[in-house]
Amino acid sequence: MEVVICTSAEEIGRHVADVYEEALRRPDPVIGLATGSSPLLAYQELIRRHREEGLSFAGATAFLLDEYVGLPAAHPESYAAVIRRELVDHVDLAPARVHSPDGTATDLPAECARYEALIARAGGIDVQLLGIGTDGHVGFNEPMSSLSSRTRPKTLTEQTRQDNARFFGSVDDVPRHVLTQGLGTIGEARHLVLVATGEGKAEAVAAAVEGPLSARCPASVLQWHPHATVFVDEAAASHLDFADYYRHALAHKPKWQGF
């Protein structure tokens, strides 16, 4: 795992955009997208590169991590709508090639199996963007999720519902249930890119990066991955014991080595 401590959220956005640009320049790219606040600056930078530098998403296929159960794609806070609003509407990514689990399906386990098969048929995900919950979730794999779990329905913790209330009118409007790629599903993406900013994420980041590999902190599954990059700002890095080492390694990073 490579931990990159950045001076600003904008710098993180540029690094993530670099990683996605490299993936997008390869044939038939399959990109994994996250929602929530953490990816927004990266999406804005990708949109800028599309408009000003001709970066194209034309050949790409995209998969979302998760979706709320019971919210139709037309609901403004469904993750299908959020990703359209924040990224897809502004670039040349074909909407038909942007996939998310359908949280309104009548048979949710069957919908999850369909989603897994769709990812497999696309040849797997080249690069998967991840935020991290204050309780250490990635996707919506809440604490004690199986480290080998597949896409399935999950129940949100009350902490996550409180955290996400800012996107809804009130916490009462935040759905209790979600469909999420499992930790096993996420772990099969060829490159995992986790982004976290702010003091509120510091404890979760420290548990994920330097704590034990444990279902108690689902994001610690990144420690098991052969290619995981964690971009954090100073505040999110503030509980890391090895912060000086990460800075040292970055300062001496060989020119030929990308993220």
* Catalytic annotation, residues: 66, 135, 137, 142
Nearer to ligand F6R by C-beta: 35 or 185?
35
* Cα separation, 118 vs 181, whole angstroms: 12
Coil, helix or strand at residue 179:
strand
Grouping H, G, I as helix, E, B as strand and the rest as coil, residue 4 is strand
Give the span between the Cα atoms of 173 and 175, in whole angstroms: 6
Angular region, 54: left φ>0, alpha ψ -120 to 50, beta rest: left
Whole-angstrom distance, CA of residue 112 vs CA of residue 106: 11
* Min dist. Cβ of residue 54 to ligand F6R (A): 28
Which pair of structure tokens corresponds to residue 109?
């386990």
The residues binding ligand F6R (CB under 6 A) are 34-38, 65-66, 79, 131-133, 137-140
CB of 78 to ligand F6R, least distance (A): 11
Q: C-beta of 248: minimal distance to ligand F6R in Å? A: 28
The CA distances from residue 50 to 47, 83, 92, 258, in Å, are: 5, 16, 8, 21
For the CB of residue 135, give the shortest distance to ligand F6R in the complex, in Å.
9
Least separation in angstroms between CB 173 and ligand F6R: 16
Which residue's Cβ lies closest to ligand F6R? Answer: 131
How far from 208 is each of 146, 176, 195, 203, CA to CA, in Å? 15, 24, 12, 9
Backbone angles phi, psi at 96, to 5 degrees: -70, -15
Beta carbon nearer to ligand F6R, 57 or 79: 79
Q: Give me 37's structure tokens.
A: 């606040």
Q: Residues 114, 178, 123, CA angle at the centre, nearest 5°?
A: 35
Contact status, residue 229 vs residue 191, Cβ threshold 8 Å? yes
Residue 72's identity, in one-letter code, is: P
